[in-house]
Structure 1
């Protein structure tokens, strides 16, 4: 062990000569820490982690020796053994917790390993994020010591053969530190409730008893909770019952489509804080007030790699090709979309998480989430991303003074060609023909490929306005109701068939 450390320190000092706090240096330090911890596991022995650690360029050697994985590939080869109770497979020890994650398109649940090392890293990142609040201007100081309403999954986990599984938010809430418990709402008893409707009813019932300063959760579900409280107590806005609400910590989806409807429920401005906390780990967070994006966590518990999201590296269905082009953090470019590969302190190795990001400030490692590798529309080369869709909806809602709380899009046949079908969740009076025109126009401005194809093989777009409750009810029927579940922005395959059946019959 000492020999390895001496060799690493000398070789890195000579070969790299990096500034102490450079993201590249931080990431290589994280990689070495992960490799050293896991080198005696089955995975570490298979891919010769000791040899990688002794290399003069461990990052490049790691990429040469360890293949990339998606969920199906790593589960079939490695993670399935941990579900059978085997220890020291991809990470030292037995895996006692799994986050159930189906994303927004997959049919079956994914079992993502969760370890104490990962949860510890997540907590450290959360504390670091809280410390950045001191740099914010005019923050509501009174809110800092008030309650945190965290709307997430049930802490009552499913018991398997030697392990527990459930939402990451449920696992995290179950392990809330003792010092945080007085601030944590709705409290452990309600947090254990599996029935989302009953949980929401309890939150609404107890709302007058709490003094909330922070709201934490996916925008759609937090908005629904506030709407129910405002309706139940005949309020004008949420600040009439919780005057100290000063922060909304959100993540998972773009907030912009929700902003207008969300702010209608407020009596005064709040500070928005965006986070990127996935089942696989805490990846990024907003550390500067009103910043364009979130800063990647480069010095804690996740080693990041970036695959250009293009036709060379992904097939038409969004699957990663063999031997893709992969970059480390110092090799990326601003303004280009990348799919993320993660190596984590829970035994994920070069793992395709399924999200795509774009660097908006490379020097600060600041990114925005642009979509999912399988959530895009390119029937005829229009290359329409979720980021394009979010931006178009945001611009249209601002222009028409509407609140569109949810939306989804699908590609459909149009004679010998194709069209896009949009479904918009809106409780305001809305003109479908005007929305169709406006969304189409905005997308043409945002995306040159889309504009070209609208004059060619993409013959039309259709817009259908639905009550926002339709989207929530569909998620309930799919068993995806709750704090961590998001409605997919692009529908394909079975999810599209189920959605079309639901709209026709009310069932799936």
Structure 2
């Protein structure tokens, strides 16, 4: 009998029942904002925007929104965070951060350097505890809580720069795991420090059978590659022949939906998939219950959220917000509407445009889904295609043709003065269908899913072209342009110049 597991499960069940108690998210958010303003009122940023007077106003949220503008990374970094890099303190948050999260996102090689304070480390840790407590809502046996967890993030070998440690947020988080958790954590500190992705995965594959992995955590694309390597190394049919007690996969970083079919093909039996939303700027949400694939916003943990309706009139060409764009607090949002997500945090980000778009699926439960990126919005000739619509259309193709299509990117091209959408789709499946038929069916799916797209197809958008590439082409592109593994994600929409670079890069993979 799993005695220790039974004890842990009992504690989690009790903690989970307390955590599930209804709370007032409006009051949570007001409290968080007041705490943020109070703590930062004597910083350079707090003095400039007079946080003290905001705190004394009758409507703190409204006054905060009137006095403080929207910021994207470049605006906040150039005006404020750059002073931190030069050694100044008390700029947008008291003191000076010990860490910087490096994030090139999906748009280029140049890394953003996002401050990560001790308050943020604590916020992420507290969010992790809330997520563990939520396991009480899932039907997991006691012996699951005695198995180990494979956290496939970026390297924990953080680099020192001017007295600060830098790395991706997953590496920073893993390097700060509690001492009591280290016995459960795999691949362990030595392997996790290996910078080279392929070398790290090779070590994981060699050691895999010595571990009793019950849970996986990481970005789907890189998790799939790791699982394939382990399966190949041990010459087995599926991962459960190596890790028979594997029961849970905690996904994150991107929507799991496009990877579901190819991921499940690596399993010997079904497992529970739990979505999380950890970004370089903070731990935002996690899946709280098995009845939904949506995630619950964490409204009482050092992050104040705001929401701008995601409409082309409010978005600049570079994905930033126009200052006149209207904003909503959490009590005013509507379900099934795309919003640009803004965050003010205990790392000194203020009204910060994280770059993601979300939609509320259940306002009462504060549950959301990620619908795309402000920059991953294909609006050439009015087509207004968001990433979630693209994901849905790709999933339909997988079901219709019984194939796996986990990766894609798309851009607008002009041929003989007419616009087309050029799709590059990644698949290692044995295709029983032509690229022309895939393009026709994809076009049909998008017309049915998006009225703006259907209108555009009847006017200026001439058609759809599809090129199918091996998955290696996408992974090598990511490796060449950024770095394999960790938080690196494939860009789903490319502008003309980037698409031309991609086309040149993948021509030998055809």
Structure-1 residue corresponding to 2:111: 109
SS at match of 2:348: coil
Q: Partners of 2:411 and 2:156 in 1: how far apart?
A: 34
- Residue in structure 2 matching 1:471, options 471, 474, 477: 474
Q: When the two structures are aligned, how many residues end up with a matched partner?
A: 487
Aligned-partner SS, 1:495: helix
Q: Deviations over 1:55-88 (max 9, x none)?
A: 1111011101111101111001100011112111
Q: Which stretches in structure 2 are left out of the alignment for 5+ residues?
A: 1-20
Indicate how the Cα distance of structure 1 residues 237 and 107 shifts in structure 2: closer, same or farther if over 3 A, else same: closer
For the 8 Å contact 1:257–1:404, the answer to whether it is kept is: yes
Instruction: Give the match's secondary structure for 2:132.
Output: helix
Equivalence for 1:155: 156
- 2:130 paired residue number: 128
Residues 475 and 20 of structure 1: CA distance in aligned 2, closer, same or farther (over 3 Å): closer
Deviations 1:281-309 (CA, angstroms, capped at 9, x unpaired):
01111101131411111111100000111
Following TM superposition, by how much is the alpha carbon of 1:453 offset from its aligned partner in structure 2, in angstroms?
Answer: 1.1
Map 1:172-321; keep pairs closer than 5 Å.
172-321=173-322
Tell me the equivalent position of 2:14. none
State the distance in 2 between where 1:460 and 1:190 align: 48
Alignment-derived partner of residue 99 in structure 2: 97
**Alpha-carbon deviation of 1:223?**
0.8
- What TM-score comes out, normalization by structure 2 length? 0.93
Aligned residue runs from structure 1 range 62-77, under 5 A: 62-77=64-79
Note if contact 2:319-2:355 (Cα within 8 Å) is conserved in structure 1.
no
8 A contact 1:83–1:163 mirrored in 2: no
Q: Which residue of 1 aligns with 2:494?
A: 491
Distance 1:331 1:482 in 2: 38
Counterpart of 2:356 in 1: which secondary structure?
strand
Q: 1:13 is matched with which residue?
A: none
- Residue 383 of structure 1 aligns with which residue? 384
In the TM superposition, what are the counterparts of 1:40-79 in structure 2 within 5 Å?
Answer: 40-79=42-81
Q: Which residue of 2 aligns with 1:3?
A: none
- Deviation of 1:205 after TM superposition, in Å, equals 0.6
Matched residue SS, 1:376: coil
Q: Match for residue 445 of structure 2?
A: 442
Aligned match of 2:11? none
Structure 1: which 5+ residue stretches go unaligned? 1-18
1:12 corresponds in structure 2 to none
* Per-residue deviation, 1:493: 4.9
Cα distance between partner residues in 2 of 1:40 and 1:241 = 55
The question of 1:454 aligning with 2:462 is answered no
Report the CA distance between 1:107 and its aligned residue: 4.1
Q: Take 1:317 and 1:440, find their aligned partners in 2: how far apart are those partners?
A: 27
Q: Which residue in the other structure is 1:23 paired with?
A: 25
Indicate if the aligned counterparts of 2:259 and 2:406 stay in contact, CA closer than 8 A: yes
How far apart, in 2, do the equivalents of 1:494 and 1:102 lie?
18
> Which moves more between the two structures, 488-497 or 323-332?
488-497
Point out the more displaced range, 285-294 or 213-222: 285-294
Report the CA distance shift for 1:393/1:140 in structure 2 as closer, same or farther (over 3 A).
Answer: farther
Distance apart, 1:253 and its partner CA? 1.1
Deviation at 1:95, TM superposition (A): 1.5
How many Å apart are 1:317 and its aligned residue? 4.5
Cα distance between partner residues in 1 of 2:247 and 2:79:
47
Query: Per-residue displacement from partner, 1:171-190 (whole Å, max 9, x unpaired)?
Result: 11111110010011011111
CA distance in 2, matches of 1:484, 1:254: 13
Structure 2 CA distance for partners of 1:175 and 1:493, relative to 1, 3 Å: farther
Partners in 2 of 1:355 and 1:422 — Cα distance?
22
C-alpha distance after superposition, 1:293-328 (max 9, x if no partner): 111111111000001111331134533112321111
Give RMSD over aligned pairs.
1.5
Number of the residue aligned with 2:13? none
SS of equivalent to 2:394: helix
Q: Structure 1 residues 246 and 322 mapped into 2: Cα distance closer, same or farther (>3 Å)?
A: same
Change in 2 beyond 3 A, CA 1:505/1:244: closer
Q: What is the CA distance between 1:168 and its match in structure 2?
A: 0.6
Summarize deviations over 1:221-251 as a string: whole Å, max 9, x none: 1111111111111112111110111100011
Distance (whole Å) between structure 1 residues aligned to residue 483 and residue 152 of structure 2 = 14
SS in 2 for 1:194: coil
| CA shift digits 1:171-218 (9 cap, x unpaired) | 111111100100110111111111011001000010010000110000
TM-score under structure 1 length normalisation: 0.94
Residues 134-177 of structure 1 show CA distances to partners (whole Å, capped at 9, x for unaligned) of: 122x3244222211101111111222112121111111111111
SS at match of 2:314: coil
CA distance in 1 between partners of 2:77 and 2:102 (Å) = 13
- Whole-angstrom CA distance in 2 between matches of 1:228 and 1:434: 32
CA distance in 2 between partners of 1:96 and 1:80 (Å): 15
- The Cα shift of 1:334 comes to 1.0
In structure 2, C-alpha distance between the alignment counterparts of 1:411 and 1:94, rounded to whole Å: 43
1:501 aligns with: 504
